[in-house]
């Protein structure tokens, strides 16, 4: 196996398109825009077996105040829940033994490169479905489990509706009778204003994102990124979300509850569930299962949890840097003073 930097956008995107594990988060423009706005150096690695490209691994490197960091995805403003490496389209068809061989070679090549870079903090968060991290554990990396809310859209719509909490169903029925209009838009101004306000709240241990970052992504992927706005009969906004629509449907970013007589956020999500199922999507994913403050609202919609894995390694310097960020820099009263890309 050979690890090399891939510099051809067409080769990269064709590989991502073909792989069942390739998501919009992995696409060439997405990773380059993310690196630019997050202030990281992009390392778009490809793992080759002879002449055959068998895996892609976008890594992001940064050195700040003597601390070297290597991530996939990067933290801070990236708003990317998972990323990591992408195996080839043939990977799922392989027998278990051959999968283990490929995973061992990928982990070996990546580990050798990580050792050469010698970051103080390294983290690789894989997409749902790639749960075999044994080869990284055997090389001394630590594991962490993450979750995401999932609705299986292959089931009858009546079954999906029946999984909703009964109080949620009542709220949706009332909102439906009120008559509201769902609009798909490329304009993020209203959505972003609400998101920025929410992420700055004391209870939200989530870094604020840059408006320019979101705008650049929307320009790069007009067919796969959208803002949805729900208006009542008087034209007042009652709900708003941003989505990713590529292979699977992701509720990517949401806004806090908008003061209204109607359950706008609840009805908006139900409309999107119906819409995406009719359009042929098989999975509706609602990111946010790892944020306790969001669990009560989001769990009422979903019948299942998806799982995804992270492997990481940090030395004493990396541990100290993580503590400083989580306990000091990410506090809301410091965010706007310390983090330069808050609008």
Residue-range domains of the chain with CATH = 2-140+309-338 (3.40.630.30), 149-302 (3.40.630.30)
Residue bearing tokens 């490209």: 53
The pLDDT assigned to 192 comes to 82
How far is it, in rounded angstroms, from Cα 154 to Cα 189?
A: 34
User: Cis peptide before 39, with omega less than 30 degrees from 0?
Assistant: no
φ, ψ (nearest 5 deg) of residue 265: -65, -40
The pLDDT assigned to 261 comes to 64
pTM of the entire predicted model = 0.88
- The region that residue 191 occupies, defined by phi over 0 for left and psi between -120 and 50 for alpha, beta otherwise, is alpha
What angle do the packed helices 9-18 and 28-38 form, to 10 degrees?
110
Tokens of 170: 């009542």
The pLDDT assigned to 208 comes to 52
pLDDT band at 339 (very low <50, low <70, confident <90, very high): very low
Q: Is the pLDDT of residue 86 over 90?
A: yes
Are the C-beta atoms of residues 45 and 56 closer than 8 Å to each other? yes
Q: Is the pLDDT of residue 300 over 60?
A: yes
pLDDT digits (tens, 9 = 90+) for 128-179: 999 999 999 999 999 999 999 999 999 999 999 998 888 888 888 888 888 8
Q: Is the pLDDT of residue 78 over 50?
A: no
* Neighbouring residues of 204: CB distance < 8 A, sequence distance ≥ 6: 198, 291, 293, 332
Look at 128-137, 237-246, 319-328 and tell me which has the smallest mean pLDDT. 319-328
Span 334-342, mean pLDDT? 39
Tokens of 281: 């999507």
Tokens of 82: 């998972």
Give the pairing type, strands 121-125 and 67-72: parallel
* Neighbouring residues of 199: CB distance < 8 A, sequence distance ≥ 6: 206, 207, 208, 209
What does 73-139 look like in DSSP terms, one character per residue? S-SGGG--S-B--EE-TTGGGS-HHHHHHHHHHHHHHHHHHHHHH--SEEEEEBPTT----HHHHTT
Give the pairing type, strands 121-125 and 248-254: unpaired
Distance of CA 210 to the CA centre of its chain: 16
pLDDT digits (tens, 9 = 90+) for 263-284: 788 889 999 999 999 999 999 9
The pLDDT assigned to 328 comes to 44
User: If you ran DSSP here, which 8-state letter would residue 328 be given?
Assistant: I
pLDDT digits (tens, 9 = 90+) for 191-202: 888 777 665 554
How far is it, in rounded angstroms, from Cα 119 to Cα 61?
A: 9
The pLDDT assigned to 333 comes to 42
Adjacent-strand bridge partners of 307: 147
Query: CA geometry: angle at 142 spanning 120 and 310, to 5°?
Result: 90
Span 210-230, mean pLDDT? 92
Choice between 70 and 331, residue whose per-residue pLDDT is larger: 70
φ, ψ (nearest 5 deg) of residue 247: 70, -50
């Amino acid at each position: 196996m050979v690890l090399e930097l891939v510099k051809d956008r067409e080769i990269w995107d064709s590989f991502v398109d073909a792989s069942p594990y390739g998501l919009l988060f992995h696409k060439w423009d997405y990773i380059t825009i993310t690196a630019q706005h997050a202030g990281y150096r992009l390392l778009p690695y490809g793992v080759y077996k002879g002449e055959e490209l068998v895996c892609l691994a976008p890594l992001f490197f940064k050195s700040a105040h003597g601390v070297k960091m290597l991530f996939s995805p990067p933290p801070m403003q990236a708003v990317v829940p998972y990323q990591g490496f992408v195996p080839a389209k043939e990977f799922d068809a392989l027998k278990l033994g051959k999968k283990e061989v490929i995973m061992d070679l990928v982990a070996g090549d990546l580990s050798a490169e990580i050792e050469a870079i010698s970051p103080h903090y390294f983290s690789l968060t894989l997409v749902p479905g790639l749960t075999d991290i044994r080869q990284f554990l055997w090389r001394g990396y630590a594991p962490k489990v993450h979750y995401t809310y999932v609705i299986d859209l292959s089931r009858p719509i009546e079954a999906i509706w029946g999984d909703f909490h009964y109080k949620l169903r009542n709220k949706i029925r009332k909102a439906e009778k009120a008559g509201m209009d769902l609009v798909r838009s490329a304009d993020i101004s209203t959505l972003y204003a609400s998101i920025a306000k929410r992420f700055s709240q004391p209870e939200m241990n989530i870094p604020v994102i840059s408006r320019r970052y979101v705008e650049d992504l929307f320009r790069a992927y007009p067919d796969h990124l959208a803002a949805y706005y729900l208006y009542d009969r008087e034209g007042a906004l009652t709900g708003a979300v941003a989505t990713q629509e590529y292979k699977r449907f992701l509720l990517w970013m949401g806004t806090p509850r908008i003061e209204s007589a109607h359950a706008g956020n609840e009805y908006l999500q139900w409309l999107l569930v119906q819409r995406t199922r009719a359009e042929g999507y098989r999975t509706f994913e609602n990111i946010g299962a790892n944020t306790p403050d969001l669990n009560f609202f989001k769990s009422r919609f979903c019948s299942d949890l998806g799982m995804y894995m992270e492997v990481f390694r940090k030395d004493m310097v990396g541990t100290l840097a993580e503590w400083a960020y989580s306990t000091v820099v990410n506090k809301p009263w410091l965010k706007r003073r310390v983090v330069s890309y808050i609008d």
